[in-house]
């Protein structure tokens, strides 16, 4: 069935329909407090998922102490309201999340944006950069390589800026419409090296 939004875009509006109504801002402290405890989220799946199914599973995964409210605003798209802002922040910081092996993209609640304009084409993913020379496992190197993938949000390093270990972890806001980057070629002292990437909590269906 054709999406109703596409049908509306092709309609020619009459004078009454096209005449704008200026909406005055209503400052509701109750709604503002609720929005501060809320996120918007979408499960990236062609299969329609009932809100009670996803609510029940995600409450267990998120390990919240009190029930979470899910309100459906589109296909597999929800406003998610937590009892406390602390729970909301913890869940958002823990992104990415999966539901039944499908990416569950979460965003900050934006009460002045129409639901069809929410951007679920970008999500923050933890990228493990493997086989880097030890002296190049640094915050600066993570930012340098990471920006070739997308917007760098965080580099997981120690206080001195180093990250010696199995990999260098970089949190990057990725464009989900683009193919997943498999790695990058770097040049160190004139020698070319391949740095493969691994993604944490990436759905197997998209690899």
- Give the residue from 132, 91, 68 showing the smallest Cα distance to 142: 132
Residue 159 has pLDDT above 80, yes or no: yes
- What would the CATH number be for the domain defined by 122-206? 3.30.70
CATH fold, domain 28-117, is Alpha-Beta Plaits (3.30.70)
Q: Is the pLDDT of residue 206 over 50?
A: no
Instruction: Classify burial at 59, counting beta carbons within 10 Å of its beta carbon; exposed 0-12, middle 13-18, buried 19 or more.
Output: middle
User: Looking at 48-62, 105-119, 142-156, which range is the least confident one?
Assistant: 105-119
pLDDT tens column, 28-72 = 665 667 889 999 999 999 899 988 999 999 999 999 988 999 999
Q: Give the chain's mean pLDDT.
A: 87
Euclidean distance between CA atoms 137 and 76, whole angstroms: 39
Predicted pLDDT of residue 207: 35
Delimiting residues of CATH 3.30.70.330 domain(s) in the chain:
28-117
Q: Which of 172, 176, 183, 175 is nearest to 124 (CA)?
A: 172
Round to whole Å and give the CA distance between 75 and 47: 9
Q: What is the pTM of this model?
A: 0.76
Give yes or no for residue 204 having a pLDDT over 70.
Answer: no
């Amino acid at each position: 069935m054709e999406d109703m939004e596409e049908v509306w875009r092709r309609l020619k509006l009459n004078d009454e329909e096209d005449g704008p109504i200026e909406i005055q801002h209503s400052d509701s402290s109750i709604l503002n407090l609720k929005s501060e405890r809320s996120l918007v989220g979408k499960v990236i799946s062609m299969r329609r998922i009932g809100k009670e199914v996803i609510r029940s599973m995600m409450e267990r995964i998120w390990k919240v102490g009190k029930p979470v409210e899910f309100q459906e605003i589109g296909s597999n798209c929800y406003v998610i309201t937590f009892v406390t802002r602390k729970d909301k922040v913890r869940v958002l910081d823990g992104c990415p999340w999966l539901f039944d092996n499908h990416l569950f993209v979460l965003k900050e609640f934006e009460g002045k944006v129409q639901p069809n304009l929410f951007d679920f084409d970008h999500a923050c993913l933890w990228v493990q950069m493997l086989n880097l020379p030890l002296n190049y496992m640094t915050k600066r190197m993570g930012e340098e390589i990471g920006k070739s993938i997308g917007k760098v949000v965080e580099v997981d390093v120690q206080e001195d800026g180093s990250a010696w270990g199995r990999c260098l972890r970089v949190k990057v806001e990725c464009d989900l419409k683009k193919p997943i980057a498999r790695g990058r070629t770097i040049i160190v002292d004139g020698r070319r090296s391949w740095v493969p990437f691994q993604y944490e909590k990436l759905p197997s269906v998209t690899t």
